[in-house]
Chain A
């Protein structure tokens, strides 16, 4: 068994539709101060820093130049990944396991409100030669995927509406959520279509925020002041990028990422885990991702379980107790780290009004949005994996 690696500190800001009072640097400074206090570390003890950011989201090229000052990372090893924060956790894990670092910090943030043309930014992600000239709104990619997903799995549109209503409602108990609402499935189903069968209320709204996570090697984690959240498994994968021929029905990128994470965590049956924070950028994605995580063998079963309330906070496998992206807001590259925060708080017993009983294992999963097939999985636990 390789050395254990644990999360010993988290710092985060409240998610907000906009944050005009702070620059992105000031936002990061706030989260970093909180994380170092939570972990009981001084920034000069930290060996290495990983930030997760996409230049186009920032409006700055070579964004890693702009991150050290506000993290205490000046003249220290640091780099930026153009990936979700969960990939950053995997990166930090590798640095610690390889023995080059004892303490590593992972940061991701969103200043989504500063992008004034979000649709054009999504458009930029489409293939410039054979997709972009057609001129569709990029949410059409999600509409296309949802339609064939429902057709092939037997999951119905009302199931997706139930997901949206559940997550917005869960967010009522999360003080950092940007979009809490006592929403009913009926309201979701009466919202207008954006790209049939996808409705407006099934699309997560963007939000600003920042998360900083402190990871430590085993020796350091054992004497940590906070209750360590041990990393039991990580995995990440991509499918083919080609819209015309990739797997639209199954989220293979999640299945592969999860299989690797389950193997590392020695999990035979995913239902050993009682807390799931999965990507729900679009409501149907939650169901697609739960199937890919191996919780349901087929779509009809996922639909029935949802109807029976299995994924509600008081159900057998609570999903997105935090409110997910639909309830908390979509903080771009910080999406995965806000889910990690939820796992850490639940594992520590610090999740307040939404605290679940006896949580020993939790799983967070991320997806980088249309048109990507980029996914990652992180499993955290209260015990050092054996």
Chain B
């Protein structure tokens, strides 16, 4: 038989006590709002997404084609040079099977976030997005995928204008 628990000092609290104001705490709803200027590089990127295209910037010095595009090369510290359209296909560079949603609900079917290396951009250049239409157990690093775009009327100039990426069937 288990021994009786010893009496602990203090005042026992339950949910009822908290609701009735037996304890003191102050709550505050943040009302902060931001509107970030997207700037030259990302404005063009978003405008092209709305048209169903992916665009990158190239650096003549290191010869990289960079996506998402940027007006400066972080390796060479110089302005980038040209706009380059790249394909809306690529390869899974890395992925995860996420069994917990952003608000910490347990998911039966995992979400599949992935970094997709874009065809036409330099190796190691990719975008973070989501893979669907495949059994989670079948996803592999190196797998070829293509973008599935939202219908044109529903695109707003956002990374979510690509609904998801799905495997290219051979």
A121 interface residue per 8 A CB criterion? yes
A121 touches B32 (CB 8 A): yes
CA distance A43 to B74 in the complex (A): 11
CA distance A67 to B36 in the complex (A): 16
B26 touches A124 (CB 8 A): no
A115 touches B34 (CB 8 A): yes
Closest residue of B by beta carbon distance from A18: B37
List the interface of chain A (C-beta within 8 A of B): 19-26, 29, 43-44, 56, 59, 68-70, 72, 74, 111, 113-117, 120-121, 124, 128-129, 132-133
Closest residue of A by beta carbon distance from B36: A114
Can you list 28 A-B pairs with a CB-CB distance of less than 8 A? A19-B37, A21-B39, A22-B39, A23-B36, A23-B38, A23-B39, A23-B41, A24-B37, A25-B39, A26-B39, A26-B72, A29-B71, A29-B72, A59-B36, A72-B77, A111-B37, A113-B37, A114-B35, A114-B37, A115-B33, A116-B33, A117-B32, A120-B30, A124-B30, A124-B32, A129-B26, A132-B26, A132-B28
CA distance A51 to B41 in the complex (A): 23
Report the minimal beta-carbon distance from B139 to chain A, rounded to whole angstroms: 28
A128 touches B74 (CB 8 A): no
Report the minimal beta-carbon distance from A153 to chain B, rounded to whole angstroms: 36
Contacts of A26 in B (CB 8 A): 39-41, 71-72
Contact residues of B between 26 and 57, Cβ < 8 Å to A: 26, 28, 30-42
Report the minimal beta-carbon distance from A198 to chain B, rounded to whole angstroms: 24
Contacts of A20 in B (CB 8 A): 37
B74 touches A70 (CB 8 A): yes
Contacts of B74 in A (CB 8 A): 68-70, 72, 74
- Supposing A26-B71, A70-B72 touch, asked if A120 and B40 sit within 8 A by C-beta, the answer is no
B9 interface residue per 8 A CB criterion? no
Contact residues of B between 110 and 144, Cβ < 8 Å to A: none
By the criterion of a CB under 8 Å from any partner CB, how many residues of chain B are at the interface? 21
CA distance A128 to B41 in the complex (A): 39
CA distance A24 to B28 in the complex (A): 29
Q: Tell me which of A44, A69, A128 contacts B72 (CB under 8 A).
A: A69
Contacts of B37 in A (CB 8 A): 19-24, 111, 113-114
Contacts of B30 in A (CB 8 A): 120, 124
Contact residues of B between 66 and 83, Cβ < 8 Å to A: 70-72, 74-75, 77
Contacts of B72 in A (CB 8 A): 25-26, 29, 69-70
A23 touches B42 (CB 8 A): yes
A43 touches B33 (CB 8 A): no
CA distance A32 to B31 in the complex (A): 33
B77 touches A43 (CB 8 A): yes
Contacts of B38 in A (CB 8 A): 23
Contacts of A24 in B (CB 8 A): 36-37, 39
CA distance A124 to B28 in the complex (A): 10
In the complex, the 8 A-B pairs of residues with the closest C-beta atoms, listed nearest first: A23-B39, A59-B34, A69-B74, A72-B77, A116-B33, A43-B77, A120-B31, A26-B39
Contacts of A133 in B (CB 8 A): 26
CA distance A318 to B80 in the complex (A): 43
CA distance A134 to B13 in the complex (A): 29
CA distance A35 to B42 in the complex (A): 25
Contacts of B70 in A (CB 8 A): 25, 69
CA distance A133 to B28 in the complex (A): 9
Contacts of A44 in B (CB 8 A): 77
Interface centre among A24, A29, A111, A116, by most chain B C-beta atoms within 10 angstroms, is A29
Contacts of B42 in A (CB 8 A): 23
Contacts of B28 in A (CB 8 A): 128, 132
Report the minimal beta-carbon distance from B76 to chain A, rounded to whole angstroms: 9
Contacts of B35 in A (CB 8 A): 114, 116
Contacts of B34 in A (CB 8 A): 59, 114-116
